Amino acid sequence: MKQNKEEYNEQEAQQEIPSILSKQKILLGDRVLWVILAMFFAISMVVVYSASSQLGFREGSTSIYLKKHIVTIGFSIGIVALFYLFKARWLRKFTMLAYIGSLLATIVPYFQAPINGAHRWLDLGFFMFQSSELLKIATIMLLAAQLSSKHHIIKKIHLLPTTFNVRKWFSKEELEVIRTEIIPILSPVALTCMVILPDATSSAIHIFIVSMVMLFIAGIRWSEIAKLVIIAGVLGLTVIYTVGRGDTVTSRVKSWLGHEKVEKPKSNLLERYTDSEKARMAMYNGGLFGVGAGRSVMRARLMHPESDYLFGFMIEEFGLILSFVIVLLYLWLFFRALRIFERCEWLYAGLLAVGLALLITSQGFLHIGVSIGMIPETGQNLPFLTQGRTGMFCASIAVGIILGISRQVEQGTLVPPSQKNENKPI
């Protein structure tokens, strides 16, 4: 990571984003991120209303789901504001507590009755919360903390034992490597994947990939990461097909490859196709400019046009132009986080910002990949756009933290702790 110790050049920032915000000294931090967030919220209200209006009409009002979504956005803005005020050193101090709490919240549903055939949801009474999404954020926090505590040896870190001879693993040298390097770095990632995998395989794969990219950005040797990915892939497939969701994974891959045998009813030709195929039909119908808001043909045919297949529905109604804007917004968010990372003097804060941005952006691209048929169905939604409080709240936490870090960089208050404290294990 670049260590940029020069003071923030405010005049340069104002030239980069000439706006009333920079002149009035409000919403400190990366103002481009504030603009990106506002655009996401605005687009979300339009597409959710259009996607859910027909369902709302059956319940007595076309705007019933829009009103609920506006309330969700209101709470999300409050969440962003709250975490925007958090200092990075506070986050690091309570990282382990946050991780343990979210881990326990993800385990609890396994001891409750399944909902829709899965143990993903924690019943809070007033709404159902998918706690694994919060665990992803906590994992990024803990991984960033562990990597920053090892920054002085980051180029020499081993992610696996230095030998495949199991007998030598009990030697003094190998035990030291395992205790001081492998366990601190990999234990949060491994534990998270093990807890999430049985009922949300795609989410476990997602957080694993994000974690590997974070290791690379932090400076760990790519050869170590490559060996870990190969071994983790073999172990992961073994677990999936023994105690995990092997049948579901196989079915989704076969469906994606077109090998899945599906009963094809004769009454409705469209019912011959999967939701993924219907989403691609919707994109074909939309073309460059779309058929117009509220004129979607496939909206009534897709099972979840407001969530799982929102991208395909958006293209049908609003065209490829809007979809291109969405892709640019996700990329823009990630590259703004990279810029924050480059300007951070504290590795923990920089890794946390880029890791959370990568979590959001990669989830968005997973959703898009499913819609256009590049990858099998994953069930990942579009952050900030799809209807659903869990996804919206967790994405708001992530962006709030990133904005808070950028604010501290601008104010010059993001001071790394002393070398002694920084190297102290979590």
| Per-position b or e across 185-211, b if 16+ CB within 10 A of its CB | bbebbbebbebbbbbbbbbbbbbbebb
User: How is 116-179 classified by DSSP, letter by letter?
Assistant: TTBS-EEE-SSSEEEHHHHHHHHHHHHHHHHHHHTGGGGGG--SS-S-S-GGGGGSHHHHHHII
Reported as a pLDDT band with limits 50, 70 and 90, residue 275 is low
Give yes or no for residue 241 having a pLDDT over 80: no
For residues 321-341, average pLDDT: 92
- Higher pLDDT: 310 or 361? It is 361
44-54 pLDDT, tens digit per residue, is: 888 888 877 76
The beta strands (E) that lie in 173-212 are given as none
pLDDT at position 351: 95
Q: Which tokens sit at 319? A: 């065209």
Helix (H, G, I), strand (E, B) or coil at 70: helix
**Backbone angles phi and psi of 121, in degrees to 5:** -105, 135
pLDDT at position 161: 84
Q: How far apart are CA 397 and CA 399, in angstroms?
A: 6
- The count of other CB atoms within 10 Å of the CB of residue 381 is 26
365-411 pLDDT, tens digit per residue, is: 998 888 777 777 777 888 998 878 888 999 999 999 999 999 999 88
Query: Domain extents for the chain?
Result: 10-85+251-422
pLDDT at position 84: 94
Out of 78-82, 121-125, 259-263, least confident range = 259-263
pLDDT at position 139: 96
Backbone dihedral region for residue 384 (phi beyond 0: left; psi -120 to 50: alpha; all else: beta): left
